[in-house]
Copies of this chain bind each other. A is one copy, B any other.
Amino acid sequence: MSELEATWSAARSGSRAALARLLSWVERGGAGAEAVAALAFPASGQAPTVGVTGAPGAGKSTLVSALLTHWRSTGETVAVLAVDPSSPFSGGAILGDRVRMQDHALDDGVFVRSLASRGELGGLSLAVPEALRVLDAVGFDRLVVETVGVGQVELEVAGTTDTVVVVVTPGWGDAIQANKAGLLEVADVFAVNKADRPGAAETRRDLEAMLDLSGTGSTPTDTHGGADTWRPPVLATVATAGEGIPELAGAIDAHRASLVDSGALERRRAGQLEAEVRRRVVAAVERRLRALGVEDPSLWGRLARRELEVHQLVGLLLDQVAGDGPTARR
């Protein structure tokens, strides 16, 4: 049995150390990640996935921790991916994880892992779906992706899940104005957290008004298409006290049930997979272009001296970046 097969088998039998190794391979990319993916892909596609996003300070980590407590009380096992595009740290070492883990550290039914970008363009938005498939394949009942902020990468990452929870706080009016296009588009459920603070009712009203303006139901897009009849509910939560958590968990399940009933889940997942494959092809092409530049600088020199015309070179490169890559062209 190969090292990979042994690790895979151990992870499926419940070894957290083995699972962590698999995820490190995924995070690192390249041939190791592809080998893990080949094992994980056929066995994945079962567990419901939830993305939790929102501005920093909205209490996302506490909310996720409260959801973990809720789901664990029903016996479900849960894996959490914490994603911070701006952080160079990974492997479960960041502070947020430890804080979150305090409540669940002794619980074998919870697994929390940070995923960081290795500096590669689009790296995180490719690593997250891959990591989710591994967590799915080793048998977790439920998967959560938590992002740190609301940037483009975070929205993209949240968009690789079945259900997106957008967390806002009272008095968040300005941010809504600034971000509403992006957030309204990806939200399947709104949680107005810290709802014991002043302004919570107004924030919920603002969100409902925005939903009225945008028409009911999720906006159909490539990765979010189909659930036209679903209107994102706007729920009040106080995560620190566990208030509103059962209702939030209920809304998450209701959204997924509506996706399943309408047949939209299949379309949504197919669209997400298709978008991921397109991103991977483009990323591979960009990687190979960079490698070509290092390998054969004379190409660029001939272009600069105008011995080689722009479109000629484009054709040449298109040919070279394909197949097995520049070094092993058939």
Interface residues of A (CB under 8 A from B): 34, 37-38, 41-42, 44-45, 130, 266, 269-270, 273-274, 276-278, 280-282, 284-286, 289, 293, 300-301, 303-304, 306, 309-311, 313-314, 317-323
Shortest beta-carbon distance from A202 to chain B in Å: 27
List the number of copies, as a whole number.
Answer: 2
* A269 contact set on B, CB distance < 8 A: 304
Measured CA separation A273–B286 after assembly (Å): 16
CA of A274 to CA of B277, assembled, Å: 26
The reply to whether B273 and A309 form a contact with Cβ atoms under 8 Å apart is no
Q: Do A270 and B300 touch across chains, with their CB atoms under 8 A apart?
A: yes
Chain A facing B: main interface SS: helix
B314 x A270 contact (CB < 8 A): no
- Of the candidates B281, B310, B322, the one whose C-beta lies within 8 Å of that of A277 is B310
Complex Cα distance, B277 from A286, in Å, reads: 11
Report the Cα distance A313→B273, complex, angstroms. 11
Given contacts A270-B304, A273-B310, contact A318 B41 (CB under 8 A): no
A289 engages B278 (CB within 8 Å) = yes
- Is B310 a contact of A280 with CB atoms below 8 Å? yes
Query: Are A303 and B274 in contact, with the CB atoms below 8 A?
Result: yes
Interchain CB contact under 8 A, B282 and A45: no
Name A37's contact: one of B270, B277, B311 (CB within 8 Å).
Answer: B311
- Would B314 and A277 count as touching, CB distance under 8 A? yes
